[in-house]
């Protein structure tokens, strides 16, 4: 691509002043129309849908190029279809979301009326990651545009081919005053996070999330942080393992484990460890008969990330872990799209890096437990995860785990699929993030829910204004019984 359209802003060497000028341009546009009509919002959402539909082959090719290998079918399942579902849901329900919500008014203040008015915030910044570069750039944008805002997007520098493709597609679809894309390295990302947005969305690691939150705090910019962490999967004694094992293997190996809500480690009843290992190995090989040069199996995003994953395995091995390679590693990984075969780890402990860092790859530690209370205690003794998975048929134990653990989201007897439900909020808790989006939750996240009280011409408020008469105590007692 020799030149970029006007709203593509490559800022590798740009100054903070240039970023602020771009933000000011969007803010000025927002101030000229602070309450976009439903028709305007629907037009923007429909244009976004058209962008996704018309550019999906180009986006898939760009993502595959950045990853070394990534299945076009997997991209469609995990990115394109998720976005299209979210768009259809937003378009279908936008009118209801936009309507002021009438709420009850205390009897003492009637016939006044109370309502909640949902109002756009202004300009929302979106910092998206590399692992699902299309979905995680545009899924927040659905809620941002539905709520009537403008947006600036900073995609990841680890997916440069896709980032440029997205920037060009956005520029061809939206005016720069509606949505703008900023490309550049980590220094541009830091400058971007420091801008005085009306709201900032960041998806990425917990460590970088802390830096983003600190930068935003200087402007009192509210943030939605979608981070990650170590999401546990618990196998209950009541689990029919054969019926769910493919769901576990798929959830772990899709995108080669580079998924923020992938099962990070397994908690398995002590007596079932050997059977679980045998069953999950068979499942992984059934899904992916080979991992090298397999067009269905994703590559690791970069050589640096690949070496980090190998270092996690070697650190665990040196500290006494039992390492089970599903397909023994070789130099082929370096020439076959950085495809790293899965590795199972037994006899792990919290002194190993693999149990203290988010893995973000096809490595699966397996920990034994003796009682459900012990499994829950292990989960609760660590940072709160973005996702938690439980597999079993015992409803009493299921409810015990749901009530006794805290996680950003949960899938029961499956993995990942809670993220695809538009009527469920998606977000973290504690170290795994804050704030929610998807569906109406995204619309509300990117709106100011403004409380409004409308006084009647027949107000009785005069009875509580000074000068206070001796009867005021009886009046206040009466009001206290009515409110």
The token duo for 414 is: 């499956």
Whether residue 239 lies in the annotated active site: no
> Which of 178, 260, 327, 358 is the catalytic position?
260
Give the per-residue pLDDT at 2.
Answer: 35
- Residue 122 CA to residue 100 CA, distance in Å, equals 19
Q: What is the pLDDT of residue 13?
A: 46
Rounded CA gap, 363 and 240, in Å? 23
Strand partners, 101: 116
Q: Got the DSSP string for 167-234? A: HHHHHHHS-TTTEEEEE--HHHHHHHHTS--SEEEEES-HHHHHHHHHHHHTTT--EEEE-----EEE
pTM: 0.92
Residue 211 known to be catalytic: no
User: Phi, psi (5° rounding) for residue 224?
Assistant: -110, 115
In CATH terms, the fold of domain 8-227+434-448 is Aldehyde Dehydrogenase; Chain A, domain 1 (3.40.605)
Whole-number Cα distances in Å, 157 to 28, 65, 129, 161, 249: 28, 14, 9, 9, 29
Of 434, 360, 312, give the one whose Cα is nearest residue 132: 360
Nearest partner of 127 among 186, 189, 71, 171, judged by Cα: 189
Catalytic, out of 226, 327, 358, 440: 226
d(C-alpha 20, C-alpha 300), whole Å: 35
In the chain, the largest separation of any two C-alpha atoms, in whole Å, equals 91
- The alpha-helical segments, DSSP class H, found in 319-448 are 332-335, 372-380, 395-404, 439-445
In tens digits, the chain (483 residues) has pLDDT values of 333 444 445 444 456 888 999 999 999 999 999 999 999 999 999 999 999 999 999 999 999 999 999 999 999 999 999 999 999 999 999 999 999 999 998 887 888 999 999 999 999 999 999 999 999 999 999 999 999 999 999 999 999 999 999 999 999 999 999 999 999 999 999 999 999 999 999 999 999 999 999 999 999 999 999 998 999 999 999 999 999 999 999 999 999 999 999 999 999 999 999 999 999 999 999 999 999 889 999 999 999 999 999 999 999 999 999 999 998 765 444 445 799 999 999 999 999 999 999 999 999 999 999 999 999 999 999 999 999 999 999 999 999 999 999 999 999 999 999 999 999 999 999 999 999 999 999 999 999 999 999 998 887 777 777 888 888 888 888 878 876
Q: 232-427 architecture in CATH?
A: 3-Layer(aba) Sandwich (3.40)
Q: Are 207 and 81 in contact (CB under 8 A)?
A: no
What are the residue ranges spanned by the domains of the chain?
A: 8-227+434-448, 232-427
Give the Å distances, CA to CA, from 204 to 81, 124, 258: 22, 17, 11
Question: Are 200 and 125 in contact, with CB atoms under 8 Å apart?
Answer: yes
Q: In Å, how far from its chain's centre is CA 11?
A: 25
Q: Token pair of 480, please? A: 């206290």
Kindly give, in sequence order, each residue whose CB lies less than 8 Å from that of residue 22, ignoring residues fewer than 6 positions away: 9, 152, 180, 182
């Amino acid at each position: 691509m020799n030149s970029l359209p006007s709203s593509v802003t490559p800022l590798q060497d740009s100054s903070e002043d240039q970023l602020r000028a771009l933000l000011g341009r969007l803010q000025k546009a927002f101030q000229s129309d602070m309450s976009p009509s439903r028709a305007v919002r629907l037009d923007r959402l429909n244009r976004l849908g058209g962008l996704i539909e018309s550019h999906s082959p180009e986006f898939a090719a760009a993502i595959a190029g950045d990853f070394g290998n990534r299945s076009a079918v997997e991209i469609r399942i995990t990115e394109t279809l998720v976005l299209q579902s979210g768009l259809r849901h937003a378009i279908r329900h936008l009118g209801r979301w936009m309507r002021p919500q009438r709420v009850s008014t205390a009897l003492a203040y009637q016939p006044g009326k109370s309502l909640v008015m949902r109002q756009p915030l202004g300009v929302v910044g979106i910092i998206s990651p590399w692992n699902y570069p299309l979905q995680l750039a545009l899924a927040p944008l659905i809620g941002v545009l539905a709520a009537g805002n403008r947006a600036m997007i900073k995609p990841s520098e680890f997916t440069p081919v896709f980032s440029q493709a997205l920037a060009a597609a956005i520029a061809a679809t939206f005016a720069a005053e509606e949505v703008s894309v900023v490309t550049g390295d980590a220094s541009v990302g830091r400058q971007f996070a420091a801008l005085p947005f009306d709201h900032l969305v960041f998806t990425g690691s917990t460590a970088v999330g802390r830096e983003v939150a600190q930068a935003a705090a200087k402007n009192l910019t509210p943030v939605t942080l979608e981070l990650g962490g170590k999401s546990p999967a618990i196998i209950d004694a009541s689990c029919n393992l054969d019926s769910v094992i493919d769901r576990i293997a798929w959830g772990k190996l899709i995108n080669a484990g580079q998924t923020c809500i992938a099962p990070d480690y397994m908690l398995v009843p002590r007596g079932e460890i050997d059977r679980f290992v045998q069953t999950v190995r068979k499942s992984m090989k059934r899904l992916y008969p080979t991992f090298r040069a397999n067009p269905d199996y994703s590559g690791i995003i970069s050589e640096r990330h690949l070496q980090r994953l190998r270092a996690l395995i070697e650190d665990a091995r040196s500290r006494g872990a039992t390492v089970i390679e599903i397909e023994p590693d070789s130099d082929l990984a370096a020439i076959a799209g950085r495809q790293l075969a899965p590795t199972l780890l037994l006899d792990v402990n919290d002194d190993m890096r693999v149990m203290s860092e988010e893995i973000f790859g096809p490595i699966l530690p397996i920990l034994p437990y003796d009682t459900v209370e012990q499994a829950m205690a292990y989960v609760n003794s660590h940072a709160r995860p973005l996702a938690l998975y439980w597999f079993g048929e015992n409803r009493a134990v299921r409810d015990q785990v749901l009530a006794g653990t805290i996680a950003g989201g949960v899938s029961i007897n499956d993995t990942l699929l809670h993220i695809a439900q538009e009527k469920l909020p998606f977000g973290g808790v504690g170290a795994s993030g804050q704030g929610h989006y998807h569906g109406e939750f995204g619309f509300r996240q990117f709106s100011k829910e403004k409380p409004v009280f409308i006084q009647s011409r027949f107000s009785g408020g005069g009875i509580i204004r000074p000068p206070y008469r001796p009867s005021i105590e009886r009046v206040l007692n009466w009001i206290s019984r009515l409110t």
